[in-house]
Amino acid sequence: MSISKSRQVAMMAVMPASLRAAVAAYQWARDSIGESGAAVYRLHGRDGAPGLYLKHGRAVAAADIADEMARLRWLAQYLPVPAVVQFARMADPDQAWLLMTALPGTTASEVLAANPALGPAVVDALAAFLRRLHALPVSACPFNAGHAVRLAQARQRIDAGLVDAEDFDAGREGWTAGQVWAALQDSLPLVPDLPVTHGDFSLENILMQEGAVVGCIDVGRAGVADRYQDLAIVWRALGELDASLQQRFAQQYGLLDIDQGKLQFHLLLDELF
């Protein structure tokens, strides 16, 4: 959805000068898919210049944007992710901007929506990419995204009233954030298996072109964590389409048995973000 010229001018007025120059002459369109606190804009239409994406957020969202910037720069050594063009943060008021390149391709969710018959091929590509991601060097990753860290973040979100209970999965319709928290505590302790994870391996965050994964986006939660952090998210998404796709994904990824306890723990945890 395009934004008004006056809105665009007002936003640019509070940017650092270097960022204003970088986004000048672009047309802006609001991208509401996958937003989580931050505003996301697609920048296009500048003669001879590539398409860009701009994220802007305040307070908690500003911190999330800073986290994503750091992870993008680290992941760029290993995987196709958006390149950081510019990052800026201001202290008063606390706000941040992240300007990134636009990757080619179409999201896996859009591919499947346009042609459900491509399900098996998409699943195979997703599994291959997740194996590649989970093979990144854990010892080189500076980001801890394990369940203890995520639980602490979830508790802060509950206490700050940031959890949207109306967005819970159908099986938890009518639950409160407190009930999800209690169910998480009942699921502990958790013995983790720790690769580098994406953190939100949803169909909306994986880009495809000609049957192959060509990039991933929204990596602000990436880090060393239990592999079910990623497996649970994609498992749920595939199950909403066809249970046979779940089984194919497990086979292609290399799972001999699904750990239902870990699956449910990470689906519960995701409700709080």
Residues in the chain: 273
Please name the residue that has the structure tokens 């009518």.
174
Parallel/antiparallel/unpaired status of strands 206-209 and 212-216:
antiparallel
Return the structure tokens found at 112.
């499947």
DSSP-derived letter for residue 56 is E
Residue of 200, 230, 259, 270 with catalytic role = 200
Alpha helices in the chain (DSSP H): 5-13, 17-23, 60-75, 108-114, 119-134, 147-159, 177-187, 228-239, 243-253, 260-270
Q: Report the DSSP beta bridge partners of residue 213.
A: 208
Q: Does the active-site annotation cover 200?
A: yes
The closest alpha carbon to 77, from 265, 219, 238, belongs to: 219
Active site residues: 200
